[in-house]
Structure 1
Amino acid sequence: MNIAKYLFVLAVTLLICSCSSDDNRYRNPNLPDYNFSVDIDMNLPQYSQLQFTGNVVYVNQSGVGINGVYVINTGGGFTAYEASCPNQPLTDCSRLQRDGVIATCPCDGAEYNLFSGEAEGQRYTLKPYRVEITGENKIRVSN
């Protein structure tokens, strides 16, 4: 086999091996995976704050996430996270409490940044959900 064919086969093999599905992007034994999809129209009063960078909205419709979802306008797009403490088994105290762009777990006091989903010294970040722009001032959050 000449060198060009060998390099081509090697490149294709590496490409195939490096591809992965985003279904396994976040595995946390404390938080089950529930399928849901919710459309958010930022023209509605309850979601209009999402039109501005740094604003967060809590979506607590039945069947959306485990304890609801926090959606934030990051300035470069939108990010959505589960509103449950990621480093605790689900209990009565595991719904995150938000103050600005910080969500605090009442079980252990861990503070998560809603821009990044991270908390200092914690094993798991907030559980991220997919966000897709579906129209002018409209997004869809799903798992």
Structure 2
Amino acid sequence: MRYFWGFILLIFSVSCNSDSTNRNPFLQEVNFRFELNLNLPLYNDLNNIGNPVYVGNSGVGTRGAFVIKSGLDTYVAFEASCPNHTPNNCSTMTIDGQNVVCSCEDFTYNLFTGQQLDRPDDGNRYYDLLFYRATQSGNIVTISN
């Protein structure tokens, strides 16, 4: 009888999911690592707080990434594909100041927080931008997932 209860406890402990993150079902988990050299003119805007850069290199995220310097030594990076539908011909967002806009339905997202700024109040689930890690070492900012 003791083995029976042990087996039941094992089943319950294996079936529980401790992953509390709520990842976006529209975007795949793409593993990548890309370095941005802040000495290059292409990434020069990242030397100032609030100037976003689009990194559209092959192998960076699904549709590229947006990177912005959000503080003195802090950078944030987000997926460039709109988070509220599967990637398609209109889902790569464009920079509009310190925001990005999805041309599919004109949703706007803030690049400092990743939050959707114009979330409809229609009872549907909407997702914020997919976050990527961004770390700085000297003049190199590394974005990865």
Q: Which residue of 2 aligns with 1:65?
A: 61
| Structure 2 unaligned residues grouped into runs of 5+ | 1-17, 121-125
Secondary structure in structure 2 of the residue aligned to 1:74: strand
Aligned residues: 121
> Aligned AA for 2:128?
T
Question: Cα deviation per residue 1:19-68 (whole Å; 9 max; x = unaligned)?
Answer: x77xx645111001111000111011101110100011111111111111
Is 1:37 paired with 2:33? yes
Q: Normalization by structure 2: what TM-score?
A: 0.78
What is residue 130 of structure 1 aligned with on the other side?
Answer: 133
Unaligned runs of 5+ in 1: 1-19
What is the TM-score with the length of structure 1 in the denominator? Answer: 0.79
Deviation at 1:139, TM superposition (A): 1.3
Structure 2: distance between partners of 1:109 and 1:27: 22
Conserved 8 A contact 2:52-2:95: no
2:99, 2:111 within 8 Å by CA — same for their partners in 1?
yes
What is the DSSP-based 3-state SS (H/G/I as helix, E as strand, rest coil) of the residue aligned with 2:63?
coil
Alpha-carbon distance between aligned partners in 1 of 2:99 and 2:68, rounded to the nearest angstrom: 11
Letter in 1 for 2:134: V
String of CA shifts for 1:44-96, please: whole Å, max 9, x gaps.
11011101000111111111111110000012410000001001121111100
Measured after TM superposition, the shift of residue 114 of structure 1 is: 0.6
Aligned match for 1:140, one of 136, 139, 142: 142
Return closer, same or farther for 1:47/1:87 CA change in 2, 3 Å cut-off: same
What pairs with 1:62-141 in structure 2 (closer than 5 Å)?
62-76=58-72, 77-120=74-117, 121=119, 123-133=126-136, 135-141=137-143
Identical aligned residues as a percent: 41
1:81 counterpart SS class: strand
**Hey, what's the Cα distance between the residues in 1 that align with 2:21 and 2:38?**
28
Partner of 1:13: none
Structure 1 moving runs of 4+ over 3 Å: none
Task: Select between 121-130 and 37-46 the one with higher mean Cα deviation.
Answer: 121-130
